[in-house]
Structure 1
């Protein structure tokens, strides 16, 4: 299954440890997203933070407050993207991961001590600053340390870790959901401390991104870091050649890393719009319906335990993430995102069509839930992992941070828009569309497939420097995979002698064998 990735021939202990630590850091996004998705459907949560209906003698959450609770955290998300991208670019990938983890511990303390609606809302906004910083650094860090043959696999762990974190917190919520005290939701929230403490303890024991070091002009340190990530699996000549490719890529670029440079010239504009479009459609196709409101929606249907559905969905998502991680470097980015997006679009249209049924029976309600799971399955296979890979691969090296930051702001703006409007679309006395929202998102899903066909390049098996060259050569996006770049070697050869000299420094320092 993983043979084409050559993992045994690619991963030494240092690279494996670094990838695993970064992957663990992503669990917290799953904890947060699915933790609040599940706990807001708990009776104990509704009693603490909801309103009392004296006629029905039940506590409930107002649609307008759910809208704020799901939408306003993306303000923190956006702030986190800006902070994380700036810290990552100026101080390094490791410092960004360390600082975001410290912040997460502070925000979690505010969550755990919340007693009012205003405090829990403010706490979630603060917590999303961490999530934004994580999104700003993790895919870029992963793409910069991993050989091209496994880059799709490794960056795909972003969505896998989110799914694993979601499964863990959903299982915990399933066990605590019946408790009558605040422990029902506080126990799942307590998981938010675990991951940041692990990252704080371990991040300084893994190498910094060699590409980031090279961009700072710290070439000797970059070679040492790259050697730590490759020794034992690659020869000194291969390490020197990779370092030469990195330096050549940096030297060829004339961009200064300013916002306007992302739209300087036809090819740079094409790269920028590809990344922005991927992030737009990732959220515009409606995944938030299931990830943020899924538990409440299923609870309103009233025929199955919503926590059981969230667990089933999480298990399926993990399996689909594993499939995507393998397929991204085997089938390619375009094929995976098109296949997964087609499944998602079909699920959305089917769910929306079933919602047209008046007074739906239990079988119809079951089919609606099933189609919601199908929609999520397609998203987890297609848009979810592939968007992060493409967003890290397509931008030019000097503009990678600012391009990723800009695209992430678009991503967040769409998440905010959809999360904020969904309660009004779903519930009475507003639009009261229920599952018919699938018809809206399904239509957008169809447009997303057209975008993929026309505007998404195939980056499978390419180094980041080769991708840059393909754009410089103005190769049509649909022909990226077929282009022969063997002539690029001559362009790089002039750098190799300098890097080989640098490799002697590594040997003298006895870096070998010290992961």
Structure 2
């Protein structure tokens, strides 16, 4: 339980009683597979002769195929720009249409973008496809995360997001492995075969979503109480105790009603930055931006290229090993997420990531390009990947927990957009630092990211509240009460407990008509 405080979660605090919902969440989080797949595949393309013959050039001085820095930047960063643009419209779209239809639209965009990338040899068309793929991946991630945040039982949200990260890591492992198998092909098939993998997951998810209900919390914000009740019942096991079901339903019903009454007739884009909502929105944006602020983006997408430039042999093989260690990291976090506070996991993760970046930066400064430095780089990039992937899902989780039901899509969309803007900046500027044709810093780039991780550690210590095992309604009550971050852990949410123990006849009140965001 959260710091020993009595919780308002009326459900059984086990895993077996919620098998049905967990299975649905696992299929929805398959969307993250696409994100990991893209990072692994595109990073490998930059060192593939089959890809470079089409989109690169032959360097007469080195007698090897190479790629222009600008082209490299655009191929890598346009997907991130797409995620940024797509994220900005998530709030208005979701306010009207919900979570589930967005995942179908993301699948359609994925099919179009993948077909263009496989079929074209034109750089302009490739750039357009990368942008469309970015919108698709951004919607996959954001709407998938919002859905599981709103449907998973409170005590299992951490586990669900660990599974989400596991899917992402498996996408990276599969992408790196397929790149390794096709890297020596001299033809366009070297990158076309890996790209075909983008069709698999969206096809599975499109079929599965036809059998899944919409988010009950979103339905409540639309005033569709009967649909929300039916949705929640479909998400819970058939043998659930009726008092548990009614307790959870009442929490959602009453809390959402109160939240909507405060926003009725108001502009959500404005209200999310006022009063207590300003704190919630800023914290959501900050914690989600941890992903771009810790230096993961340049390592994830440029590992193979970076190691190749650094003179490390078998860079593809080491990339696969590092990706596998990332999967081990999230598997390790799964074993502790239900027992260890989220703040502890995040602070430990950013501290380890910062020290890893500092270690290989120092090694390159002392003995640049040596065999010993190469081994140090492989070791600490591997450790960085392990610790980053171990804590990464809980930053996404907290970012979705902080906003209330009325603002979640708007806040989460802005937070996701800011994170991908940060990713774009890191990916776009990284070649200037690591490319020998530019600054040629190589591993000394890690100095910058050590300082960034130090800031993240301090910020978490002072400002990020503990939400482990709390329902979204409990989190809302604590924010509304103005509880300091350090006191969330032991706070008793008496109002939410009363909702959980009430019956529908005790909480009847005037229905709130949903007002579309102006």
Task: Tell me the TM-score normalized by structure 1.
Answer: 0.92
In structure 1, distance between residues paired with 2:173 and 2:39: 11
Where does residue 163 of structure 1 map in the other structure? 169
Matches within 5 A, 1:446-485: 446-485=454-493
Aligned-pair CA distance for 1:491: 4.9
Q: SS where residue 355 of structure 1 aligns?
A: helix
Aligned-pair CA distance for 1:322: 2.0
Q: SS where residue 366 of structure 2 aligns?
A: coil
Contact 2:30 2:164 in 1 (8 A): no
Change in CA separation of 1:491 and 1:498 when aligned onto 2, cut-off 3 Å: closer
Aligned-pair CA distance for 1:85: 4.1
In structure 1, distance between residues paired with 2:40 and 2:388: 16
Where does residue 4 of structure 2 map in the other structure? none
Aligned-pair CA distance for 1:121: 2.3
State yes or no: 1:146 paired with 2:152: yes
Aligned-pair CA distance for 1:218: 1.0
Where does residue 453 of structure 2 map in the other structure? 445
Bigger shift: residues 335-344 or 63-72: 63-72
Where does residue 302 of structure 1 map in the other structure? 311
State yes or no: 1:262 paired with 2:268: no
In structure 1, distance between residues paired with 2:306 and 2:177: 19
2:377 to 365, 368, 371: 368
Aligned-pair CA distance for 1:422: 0.5
2:112 to 96, 106, 115: 106
Change in CA separation of 1:402 and 1:447 when aligned onto 2, cut-off 3 Å: same
Aligned-pair CA distance for 1:76: 1.0
In structure 2, distance between residues paired with 1:374 and 1:21: 29
1:217 to 223, 243, 262: 223
Contact 1:21 1:199 in 2 (8 A): yes
Q: SS where residue 356 of structure 1 aligns?
A: helix
Aligned-pair CA distance for 1:131: 0.9
State yes or no: 1:489 paired with 2:491: no
State yes or no: 1:232 paired with 2:204: no
In structure 2, distance between residues paired with 1:351 and 1:365: 9
Aligned-pair CA distance for 1:108: 0.6
Change in CA separation of 1:350 and 1:394 when aligned onto 2, cut-off 3 Å: same
Contact 1:76 1:129 in 2 (8 A): yes
State yes or no: 1:328 paired with 2:337: yes
State yes or no: 1:313 paired with 2:319: no
- RMSD across aligned positions (CA): 1.9
Q: SS where residue 365 of structure 2 aligns?
A: coil
In structure 2, distance between residues paired with 1:461 and 1:70: 38
Contact 1:328 1:386 in 2 (8 A): no
Contact 1:82 1:405 in 2 (8 A): yes
Cα deviations across residues 23-65 of structure 1 (Å, max 9, x unaligned)?
Answer: 2222111221211111221111111110122233322012222
In structure 2, distance between residues paired with 1:104 and 1:237: 43
Bigger shift: residues 230-239 or 490-499: 490-499
Cα deviations across residues 271-294 of structure 1 (Å, max 9, x unaligned)?
Answer: 111111112332111001211111
Matches within 5 A, 1:27-106: 27-106=33-112
In structure 2, distance between residues paired with 1:57 and 1:360: 21
In structure 2, distance between residues paired with 1:359 and 1:483: 52
Q: SS where residue 497 of structure 2 aligns?
A: helix
Aligned-pair CA distance for 1:339: 0.9
1:208 to 208, 214, 218: 214
Q: SS where residue 439 of structure 2 aligns?
A: coil
In structure 2, distance between residues paired with 1:279 and 1:23: 17
Change in CA separation of 1:63 and 1:236 when aligned onto 2, cut-off 3 Å: same
In structure 1, distance between residues paired with 2:62 and 2:177: 30
Q: SS where residue 272 of structure 2 aligns?
A: helix
In structure 2, distance between residues paired with 1:314 and 1:56: 29
Q: Which has the higher contact order (CA 8 A, sep 6+)?
A: 2
Where does residue 352 of structure 1 map in the other structure? 361
In structure 2, distance between residues paired with 1:310 and 1:88: 37
Where does residue 282 of structure 1 map in the other structure? 291
Gaps of 5+ in 2: 1-11, 509-518
In structure 1, distance between residues paired with 2:199 and 2:13: 34
Cα deviations across residues 259-314 of structure 1 (Å, max 9, x unaligned)?
Answer: 1212211x322211111111233211100121111110011122321221221112
1:249 to 231, 246, 255: 255
In structure 2, distance between residues paired with 1:489 and 1:16: 24
Where does residue 509 of structure 1 map in the other structure? none
Cα deviations across residues 405-441 of structure 1 (Å, max 9, x unaligned)?
Answer: 1111110110111111000011234221110011110
Aligned-pair CA distance for 1:498: 6.9
Q: SS where residue 200 of structure 1 aligns?
A: helix
Contact 1:244 1:492 in 2 (8 A): yes
Change in CA separation of 1:61 and 1:492 when aligned onto 2, cut-off 3 Å: same
In structure 1, distance between residues paired with 2:401 and 2:336: 17
In structure 2, distance between residues paired with 1:495 and 1:355: 65
Aligned-pair CA distance for 1:499: 8.4
Q: How many residues align?
A: 493
Task: Tell me the TM-score normalized by structure 2.
Answer: 0.91
